[in-house]
A and B are shown apart, each in its own frame.
Chain A
Amino acid sequence: MDRGMVIFVGALLTFSSSWLGLVLYPYWQLQNEQPYAKSPGDDPYPRPLAGQALAGVRVYQANGCLYCHSQQVRSEKFGNWWEDGQMKTGADIKRGWGARRTVSRDYLYDRPTMLGTMRTGPDLANVGARYAEPWQHNHTFNPRAVNSWSVMPSFAFLYAREKVVGGQKAAKALKLGREWTVDPGYRWRPTDRQWEAILAARGTAIRQAHLAGAVARVDPDSPAGRAELLEFWLTTEEEDYQVVPTTAADALVAYLLALRKGETPLPEAKE
């Protein structure tokens, strides 16, 4: 046989072996997997995403959340640490990332299936069970508004900062202090000059609001008192402006709330 033919046939065979074994065989093995219902009348699990949550997948994909977050809970036998001289296992579950391990059935309707390979941030397979909508919006808008140590990017570009019309804020407006909303994505502080100007214009109102809420306080005209006043004011909401989620942010949060993979018991996910 010609040398070229030998290489060609050999390359074909070796490669086909892995293609058949690693790709086609599991494809065939898993293609008939069905949602699970404990008894005939029950709602089957999982269900395909729909509406906003489905649109949220695109936002998650486009912004590469996958590169910091996995979506898989490893079993009770995986991930070991030492405690009181004993080796324990099951770190993922112990961290509260899911009540059980995730199995192939959990991903039946995922397009694409984003298992992930990096945990710069916590696992999100079951994050829908951990937080409610307002928390998710605040966190997505600027993670440091929730956890000062976070290195997660701010997704403020999915939110709009707009003037409040008619004196009434939108129901969806984020309830965050002005330090986070004045300059979306950053943590804002007025310069000394700005602060003087603000005090001159609205000092009385700010002081009154401060007095109403504070428990123990220092002399409001001492340097410490003025610093405290500034800190207080920064944590209050802006009066004339509000930050509202765009459709993309709503979709993303709907998707995060729908991520509940480690909850519903499945017979094959025992450990």
Chain B
Amino acid sequence: MAPTTPMTEPERERSARERRAIDSSCRVPVLYFAASAVFWLLAGSALAVIASVKLHSPYFLTGSPEFTFGRVRMAHLQAVGLGWAGMAVMAAAVWLMCRLSRVGLIYPKLLVFAGTLWNVGMVLDVLGILFGDGQSVEWLDAPRYVPPFLVAGLGIVSAWTVATFRRRRERHVYVTQWYVLAAVFWLPWLYTVAVLMIFWMPATGVVQPVVNWWFGHNYLGLWMTPVAVGAAYYIIPKVIGRPIHSYYLSILGFWSLALFYSWAGMHHLIGGPLPVWLVTASVVGSMMMFIPVIAVAINHHMTMLGSFHRLRYSPALRFTVFGAITYTAVSFQGAVESLRDFSEVAHFTHYTVAHAHLGAYGFFTMIMFGLFYYMVPRLTGREWASPGLIRVHFWSSAVGITIYFVALSIAGWWQGRMLNDPNVPFANIVRYVTPFLAIRSYIAGPLMTVGHVSFAILLTANLMGWGRQRTGGPTYFVEPATGTAGGPRELAAAGR
């Protein structure tokens, strides 16, 4: 990617032309995946708010079985976990792989087909759950007829990403490609094994939850995380126009993540009816996660050093850096949370829910937003219609997730303390958490949803061709003053 010696003007021109050709080859499938992802994000947000309200106001929508809390809760996780996160990751994987391998996409229509398979699967998934076919296996709630669609779609996307990599014309393999390649290899395996061992040929008793959490944790760790970390590795240097801090740290970060993250899942079962060594192994894995997390943190944040003023201008950078910083925070929290003494309180409570959202939203989703802000204009040839609306998106998402996290962490911690004290009547616990859940329903959730609606409007406008043509620099929150470091010239060159 970022060349070490400065390019001459004709070289620059040639490489820009090449990038445009690559972008136009993946325009249709990548935008299709991106738009579908945003659709599922909206659906997931609506389900989230319904579920959240029902958790403190049980009379809300109580008459219809389709909207009972348990079903909406399952549908929400499927919509945001597989619909939004799944399809956003696939959009990112395909585009980043083409860009970094410096080759166009072949047979883009096949990927459109794969995306359609995935969308059909998701519609069946969400509606199937609401109409009573949910499975109550966290992360794997999809009804029985859904996995074939998802596996087939995923298989095509994975194969295409690998094929693109194999056709690469760029000899240097950048760290983002490592992450993307590993992720598209891991998920099909992970998903197939999980579905096989839980539904098709069920393993006995407690082996099922073991497989369940091996999947649930790795879906985050070996699918969402690598691609989001990889995207940040791409966006940050691109926007600020300087190479990543340390190549060796990025390799260390990659391999230690690959090794340790996949071992971490069993801490979700601390105190449960399982062989103790399993949980212990996972606690060790979780603690070892400090290595990749610190490696990535140093790399991302050291690269940013001296460029923080650019957060004022670039939406892509601001979202991405918010996500990268949250990644460090949420991973540290996760490692500590895996400890037995800590889990003793936090397990079975909203504390875990807060942590999960900090990871899946504050880190993953924010980086995907950053990537989309960077990627979509390059695919459509249009800039974003309204910097003001991007600002609305950023602040409502950022403030929303912060309130969410704080409110549920406090609620969850005390919920856990009280659950552990048998002298506290259960009614008191239910009453205690209610106001915090109401904050989520009426402040945090709606704020985040406002952000998503703003983003959906921006994306729709962009796809309809309502933004200005991409000729000069990217869309900024504010136009940087000329002549200063990070002036429009320099940024435009780096961010084109």
Give the B-binding residues of A (Cβ under 8 A).
Answer: 3-4, 7-8, 10-12, 14-15, 17-19, 21-23, 26-27, 29-31, 33, 60-68, 70, 72, 74-75, 78-83, 91, 94-95, 101-120, 122, 143-144, 147, 149-157, 185-186
Residue B298 at the A interface, CB < 8 A?
Answer: no
In Å, the complex CA distance between A165 and B57 comes to 36
In Å, the complex CA distance between A254 and B136 comes to 19
- A112→B136 contact, CB < 8 A: yes
Contacts of A67 on B, CB cut-off 8 Å?
Answer: 69-70, 73-74, 136, 138
- B208→A154 contact, CB < 8 A: no
- B348→A23 contact, CB < 8 A: no
Contacts of A91 on B, CB cut-off 8 Å?
Answer: 419-422
Contacts of A15 on B, CB cut-off 8 Å?
Answer: 186, 189, 222, 258, 262
- A95→B422 contact, CB < 8 A: yes
Name the residue among B207, B266, B275, B427 with the largest chain A CB count within 10 angstroms: B207
Contact sample, A vs B, 11 pairs, CB 8 Å cutoff:
A7-B181, A10-B258, A15-B189, A21-B263, A23-B211, A64-B70, A75-B271, A104-B275, A109-B205, A152-B58, A153-B54
Residue B28 at the A interface, CB < 8 A?
Answer: no
Residue B300 at the A interface, CB < 8 A?
Answer: no
Name the residue among B138, B199, B417 with the largest chain A CB count within 10 angstroms: B138
Chain A nearest CB from B141 CB (Å) reads 8
- A111→B138 contact, CB < 8 A: no
- B204→A108 contact, CB < 8 A: yes
Question: B233-292: which have CB < 8 Å to A?
Answer: 255, 258-259, 262-263, 265-266, 268-269, 271-275, 278, 281-282, 285
Give the A-binding residues of B (Cβ under 8 A).
Answer: 54-59, 62-65, 68-71, 73-74, 132-138, 165-166, 173, 178, 181-182, 185-186, 189, 193, 197-199, 202-211, 214, 218, 222, 255, 258-259, 262-263, 265-266, 268-269, 271-275, 278, 281-282, 285, 344, 347-349, 352-353, 415, 417, 419-423, 426-427, 430-431, 434
- A3→B204 contact, CB < 8 A: no
- B278→A22 contact, CB < 8 A: yes
- A94→B62 contact, CB < 8 A: no
In Å, the complex CA distance between A157 and B71 comes to 14
Contact of A31 among B54, B68, B204, B259 (CB under 8 A): B204
Which residue of chain A lies nearest to B54 when distances are taken between CB atoms in the complex? A153
Contacts of A153 on B, CB cut-off 8 Å?
Answer: 54, 58, 62, 68-70
- B136→A94 contact, CB < 8 A: no
Name the residue among B203, B282, B427 with the largest chain A CB count within 10 angstroms: B203
In Å, the complex CA distance between A186 and B62 comes to 8
Name the residue among A21, A102, A156 with the largest chain B CB count within 10 angstroms: A21
Which residue of chain A lies nearest to B259 when distances are taken between CB atoms in the complex? A14
Chain B nearest CB from A114 CB (Å) reads 6
Chain A nearest CB from B16 CB (Å) reads 26
Asked whether A30 and B206 contact (CB < 8 A) given A23-B193, A91-B421, A185-B62, the answer is yes
Contacts of B57 on A, CB cut-off 8 Å?
Answer: 151
Contacts of B59 on A, CB cut-off 8 Å?
Answer: 185-186
